[in-house]
Every structure is written in structure tokens, then in C-alpha cells.
Structure 1
Amino acid sequence: MSRLLGTSLAVLLSAGLLAGCSGSDDPDASGESGIPSGSASASPYLPVPDEVTLTPQGTHLSVGDQAVVAYEPRQDEVGVLDLTVTKLERTTTKKTLSAWQLTDAQQKSTPYFVHVSVTNVGESDLGGRRVPLYAVNEDNLLLESTPFASSFEACPSTALPDKFGPGAQADVCLVYLAPDHGSLEAVSFRPEETFDPIYWTGEIEKYVAPKPDKKKKKK
């Protein structure tokens, strides 16, 4: 029996992004380009702890590289995260989403799994918030990650744990649905429109489902 997604699966907006659930903490990307056009800037863009050095805006990274970023999940709060995009995977809706009820547009998308190691290196508790990363498609538009549930073992695409204070660490997997069988060109950190994005590129692997553990034979 197919599982209903409701608002837990993104819908395509006219601006070209995939929106998450209505309670998403992700900033509005407004369909703008996710790949920087200028050079990296060394100027700090938000107040962070003295021991934290932010990765400059406009930095181009490869999969496996680390970035320290800051953003404002709300007006009176600054979040600081150490992010490493560790793996990019491509799959199909037929292969991994057949148990979920999809709209026609969603069925024509290409799912991508983005694996990220996340550490809170700031002073705010970011529990329950989504990792502020976007996918960039072939049209240079930003796609939000699609919320699922922990029961989706292939790539849960859930928010950070309910409690995610200073020093907390998590390895997460985020789902991005590229519309019209589109491609993933980069993964972008862009908290607001004037920010020169930090982005990751690298080899995209074909998703292979893990093999179930073999039951030990009884003696």
C-alpha cells in the first residue's frame, strides 16, 4: 500500500524551486542562481564565536571538503555549522519512491541523495531545523530538500534532532527532487539573496540499496 506524503514531499513552485513543508526553516531562495559568479570574500558576514573562522563567501568546494557557515534561522539568532558534503547519489522515483504517492510532476523528477556531516560550532540550539543547503539544477535554480520521515531508510531527509546544541554532531541524508528529470549540478549554501554562495561539486554515484543482513544459520 502506498504511503501518503501530503506536505512531506515538495511541490514545484513557479519560481523553479522545490518547497519543503509549510513549517520549513529554510530561507526563501527566490529561484535565484545557486552558483557564485564572483570571487571569494574573506569578510565575516555574521557575528560568530571568537574561535570560529567562517569559510569565505564564494568558495568552491569538492565533495568531501569542509565549510564553516553562519546563518540566521530567525531574526534574533545566529546559527553556525560545520558542514561536509560527503556523498552525492542519483536514483529514480520508480526505484526508491514507489511506496509513496507522487503527483505527476514528482513522478517526472529525478531524486538525488545528498549526505552531509553536520556539527554545531555556534552558541544556538538548532534542534528541529533543516540543514540550510540547496541543490542547484541545470537551470541554475535552487531546490529545497524534501522532508520525509525516519522510516524512509534510503534517505530519511529529516530535520536536525530536536536537541542540537553547541557541539552536537549528526550525519544526515537529504532528498532533492530535480523537476522534469533534471540534474544536480552543485550543492549550495546561500542563506539570503545577496550572499555569494558557497558550493560543492563532485562525482554523483548511482544509488545502490544496501543488502539485507543474512540470517545466521541455526546450528
Structure 2
Amino acid sequence: MKVAMTAVAVAVLLLAGCGGGDEQEEPEPDVPAGFDVPEGVTLTEPDTALDVGASGTVVIDLGGGAASATTVEVSEVIKGRMRDFRFFSLDEQTKKSTPYYVQAAVTNEGPAGLGGVSLPLLAHTDADTLYPASELVGEFEKCPDPTIPENFLPGESADVCLIFLVPEGEGLETIDLQPGEPADAVRWQP
């Protein structure tokens, strides 16, 4: 009995040592052709899950050959109340949503300017649906500064606050920084 167990153990060890060719490669960050990652900047691997307070770095492709490495730190995700929007004109379905205020610090790592660019942060719900940030007309004290500055040059940082209205019946799973395809996203779990 002891010999049989030893033979089985040796066979398992031999099999475990074989087959190294089937290892899956780690996904590479999506980088536009010809883009050189700035020195000292490390891109975050696609499909990385981060805790709130951690930062991730992706490349935002501006088109026309311009792109810039961008670091985002989601610092806070706050569940709001619809009564915060009592002075806004909302349809009945939107009034049943759950608002979330997402505070983030954004740094343009370069080489291109990012002025006027929408930050590709999305709310990812438990219904596997992605929602962009809501755009409000007027000032909103609970979540000011929804956009990065018009002149946002390499080396500059800014704080933003985005509002996501998650529809009734859905729950917030993650906040996704999605520079390209959904598989390229970096996700914060609130």
C-alpha cells in the first residue's frame, strides 16, 4: 500500500512538471501603434481590479496619432439620494435611479494634452451594463468639477467628480476606466 501511494505521488509530480507550453499570457495594455510609454510610467494591465484609493494608468487615444498616458485614482464612491436632484427636471424613470458620486484624481502623464477630453470612466452594474457619467446643466454642489480642465497638459493633475445614475433594479459593481474595449478596462470595486 505504501509503495502504490509513493508511485502515485511521483506520477503526479512528474505530470505537474510537464506542459509548461499551455500557460496563458498576461493581457497587455492597449497602446496605439507608435506610442511610446513615457519614462517612469507603468501601464496597468487590462482587467485589473483595484480598491478605491488605488491608481491605474492607461493610454487615452485622442485620434489623429495623438495619445497620452493617464493616471486615475478613484478616491471615493459615495451613494447619494435622489432628493439631491430635487431642483433638476428629471423624467419618472430617472427619479427612481440611485445616484453615485465618484471622486477621482487625474494626472496627464504625457505626451499629448488632454484638454476637453471626456474621462472614460463608466459605472458597471450587476446587470453587466455600462453607464456613462450623467451631464447636468447648472451647478451641483454635491459633485462639482465634472470635467478635466480645457488646458490639461502633460504633468498636470486635476480632481473631478462624476455623477452616475444607476437605474432602479440594478446595483453598482465597479467603476471602470475603459480606454478602449471593455476587456481593456481597469476596475475599482467600491
Select which of 26, 30, 43 maps to 2:28.
Answer: 43
Q: How does 1:90-105 map to 2 (within 5 A)?
A: 90-94=79-83, 96-105=84-93
Question: 2:53 matched to 1:64?
Answer: yes
- Give per-residue Cα distances to partners, 1:178-214, cap 9 Å, x unaligned: 0125321101122222633210103xxxxxxxxxxxx
| Whole-Å separation in 2 of the counterparts to 1:157 and 1:85 | 14
Matched to 2:38, the amino acid is P
Alignment of 1:39-188 (within 5 A): 41=26, 43-46=28-31, 47=35, 48-94=37-83, 96-148=84-136, 151-156=139-144, 158-180=146-168, 182-188=170-176
- Counterpart in 1 of 2:12? none
TM-score, reference length from structure 2: 0.78
| Superposed displacement of residue 75, structure 1 | 4.2
Distance change in 2, residues 1:177/1:135 (3 Å): same
Residues 116 and 159 of structure 1: is their aligned pair in 2 closer, same or farther, counting only changes over 3 Å? same
Structure 1 residue 157, shift from structure 2 partner: 5.3
> What is the number of equivalent residue pairs in this alignment?
163
RMSD between superposed Cα atoms in Å: 2.0
Percent of aligned positions that are identical: 32
Question: 1:91 deviation in Å?
Answer: 1.2
Aligned residue for 1:27? none
- Higher-helix-fraction structure: 2
Cα distance, 1:136 vs structure 2: 0.6
For structure 1, list consecutive stretches of 5 or more residues without a partner in the other structure: 1-38, 203-219
Q: Contact between 2:175 and 2:189, CA under 8 Å: does it hold in 1?
A: yes
2:189 and 2:93 map into 1 onto residues whose CA distance is 26
The structure with higher relative contact order (CA 8 Å, sep 6+) is 1
Distance 2:64 2:51 in 1: 31
Query: Is the CA contact (8 Å cut-off) linking 2:148 and 2:159 kept in structure 1?
Result: no
Give the 3-state SS of the residue equivalent to 2:93 in structure 1: helix
Q: 1:150 to 1:67 in 2, by over 3 A?
A: farther
Corresponding residue of 1:201: 189
Select the structure of larger CA radius of gyration.
2
- Residues 110 and 181 in structure 1, CA contact (< 8 A), matched pair in contact too: no
Task: Please report how far the alpha carbon of residue 49 of structure 1 lies from its aligned counterpart in structure 2 after TM superposition.
Answer: 1.8
**Kept after mapping to 1: 8 A contact 2:50/2:187:** yes
Q: CA deviation at 1:161?
A: 0.8
Partner SS state of residue 55, structure 1: coil
Quick one: distance in 2 between partners of 1:194 and 1:174? 19
